[in-house]
Structure 1
């Protein structure tokens, strides 16, 4: 099911070429108080996005950048593709003319009218806050898989990604990046605000939360639970195929085909606790304090098992 994603590769390639001609301070713009990359997002696109008509059978993945959305997105896309093939409806998912860039907020102003004409099921990824999604997502009770990951590994992965991806500002040192991460100067906004805002929806019946860490611990169980949440009925053998194709090694080997030049940047290590290679004692204390202040007592905060994955 790991077919080439021409639209994904084309959009990323064009964005990287454009970013290479820009100065560092030109790479981001602010919209409603949140920074976004100028070569992949625009105010006009955000306004046009409201015209998207969400459906109850949409498969939506929400996650802060570098929480594992490309990995879990592969799982979701594979689950849907496997089910569609089983239902002998493969044409609807393999037609390149119908393909759109999977991240909701990335595209052109005509994207959402095209998406409104796409057959079900549509697989949609987003890094947006819930209040910045089209209102129809909640009005029409679309199901959302909320992916969260411990903040120290998110910051570590974001640092390496920023320095490898020309559409984002790069950083001379980890210390410089850490200051930006902790002072809400990141593309798509503050990690802590992201979890705080999504926590308001954590009890909704149409929202399922899964952590990057629990999926790493037991991918087979995670895939099974995700399929059940979205009502995707597959055999044990079919589910196992999805599990095998979603291993980090398998995805890394196929990354050039599925994600183009971005593949090697996206699929760097895929582990847990890589933060220990970068954080110093003072940074650990600052992150621990921020976690306690903002999300420790919330449902999402408790689900992260911070003491297990983030204590020095």
Structure 2
């Protein structure tokens, strides 16, 4: 099969571009109140982002960090290859907010369908995405596993702040002081648009529980015409373990960082009773009773 290859050597270079002894303020900058890593983002790139000319047939994937978007990129690349028999290779980073300001002009040369990804909230996306009615697939993961996965990412990638302990990271995560900001702010914003035209929300745990049904749902959303046999074949190739096993081939040196465990319930190894209560209360305030909150099945995945 074919896996989509982006310039992950660039990511590797950025992640290993500076010593861990950098202070946090040297690794982050703030844009419109949200912290971002200086290794892959810049104010100039954000200012130029509005120049991205989205297409109606772009495949736009949205997620908060560590919710599984790199896994989803692999699934979509196989869907596109199976449908078109063309390899959607790009030298540009799929994350639209990452890279240099000139990338948006270069992206005009990439043939359709392009796979684009982002960790940004709805209000930060370029206006052309909505003007051209680009379809948006929004991926969420339960907040406890997201936090634990993000903690391990921060302590594995030298280009972002590391933390001396899980307790220290948890406090920063709950206060939205980690890169790309608050999980809950991100979720609240996207929940407002969960029923918008051209937006579909999918849950990481659903991918894990029934990948075949999820692949079929994604294919139908983006208008890919595939047989049941093709759907099953893609699902067989795209399990998290299969993608993880090929991570070095597809993503180079950062493969083991991007694809760590991928399990559901890893939060139970780190969360204290007090932290469980704090996040339960935060979820109740922000998402309980919402459509996204129902999709996340918090009582199933985040209660002991």
Aligned equivalents of 1:188, 1:271: Cα separation in 2: 23
Q: Deviations over 1:119-144 (max 9, x none)?
A: 21010111001111101111111000
Q: Give 1:204 deviation, angstroms.
A: 0.8
Aligned equivalents of 1:130, 1:158: Cα separation in 2: 21
Q: Deviations over 1:242-285 (max 9, x none)?
A: 11121122111110011111111121111101100000100000
Match of 1:5 in 2: 5
- Secondary structure of the corresponding residue to residue 155 of structure 2: helix
Q: Deviations over 1:210-260 (max 9, x none)?
A: 100111110000000000000011122222221112112211111001111
For residues 269-284 of structure 1, what are the structure 2 equivalents within 5 Å?
Answer: 269-284=261-276
Q: Give 1:21 deviation, angstroms.
A: 7.0
- Secondary structure of the corresponding residue to residue 164 of structure 1: coil
8 Å Cα contact 2:139-2:201 kept in structure 1: yes
8 Å Cα contact 1:2-1:254 kept in structure 2: no
Match of 1:308 in 2: 300
Moved over 6 A (4+): none
Q: Give 1:13 deviation, angstroms.
A: 1.9
- The aligned length equals 303
Aligned equivalents of 1:311, 1:66: Cα separation in 2: 20
Q: Give 1:6 deviation, angstroms.
A: 5.4
8 Å Cα contact 2:20-2:158 kept in structure 1: no
Q: Give 1:49 deviation, angstroms.
A: 1.1
- Secondary structure of the corresponding residue to residue 18 of structure 1: coil
Match of 1:41 in 2: 41
Aligned equivalents of 1:232, 1:222: Cα separation in 2: 13
- Normalised to the residue count of structure 1, the TM-score between the two structures is 0.94
Match of 1:203 in 2: 195
8 Å Cα contact 2:66-2:146 kept in structure 1: yes
Aligned equivalents of 2:20, 2:146: Cα separation in 1: 28
- Normalised to the residue count of structure 2, the TM-score between the two structures is 0.96
Counterparts in 2 of 1:149 and 1:3: CA distance versus 1, 3 Å: closer
Match of 2:63 in 1: 63
For structure 1, the 5+ residue unaligned runs are none
Match of 1:158 in 2: 150
What is the alpha-carbon root mean square deviation over aligned residues? Answer: 1.4
For residues 281-292 of structure 1, what are the structure 2 equivalents within 5 Å?
Answer: 281-292=273-284
8 Å Cα contact 2:141-2:205 kept in structure 1: yes
Shifted more, 263-272 versus 214-223: the winner is 263-272
- Secondary structure of the corresponding residue to residue 7 of structure 2: helix
Shifted more, 140-149 versus 260-269: the winner is 260-269
Q: Give 1:200 deviation, angstroms.
A: 1.4
Shifted more, 240-249 versus 275-284: the winner is 240-249
Aligned equivalents of 1:228, 1:107: Cα separation in 2: 31
8 Å Cα contact 1:3-1:257 kept in structure 2: no
Match of 1:149 in 2: 141
Match of 1:29 in 2: 29
Q: Give 1:4 deviation, angstroms.
A: 6.9
In the alignment, does 2:179 pair up with 1:187?
yes
Q: Deviations over 1:191-218 (max 9, x none)?
A: 0000001111101120000100111110
For residues 100-115 of structure 1, what are the structure 2 equivalents within 5 Å?
Answer: 100-115=92-107
8 Å Cα contact 1:2-1:258 kept in structure 2: no
Aligned equivalents of 2:244, 2:267: Cα separation in 1: 21
Match of 1:73 in 2: 73
